[in-house]
Amino acid sequence: MFGSSNFGGSRGPRRDFGGPREMTKTTCSDCGKECEVPFKPTEGRPVYCRDCLPKHRKPRF
Residue 37 in contact with residue 50, Cβ under 8 Å? Answer: no
Q: Identify which of 38, 40, 56, 39 has the alpha carbon closest to the alpha carbon of residue 48.
A: 56
pLDDT, tens only, 20-47: 889 999 999 999 999 999 999 999 999 9
Q: 55 φ, ψ to 5°?
A: -70, -20
Residue 54 and residue 35 in contact, taking contact as beta carbons nearer than 8 Å: no
pLDDT per residue as tens digits for the range 41-52? 999 999 999 999
The alpha carbon of residue 21 and the mean position of all alpha carbons in its chain are separated, in whole angstroms, by: 11
Task: Supply the pTM of this predicted model.
Answer: 0.62
pLDDT for res 20: 81
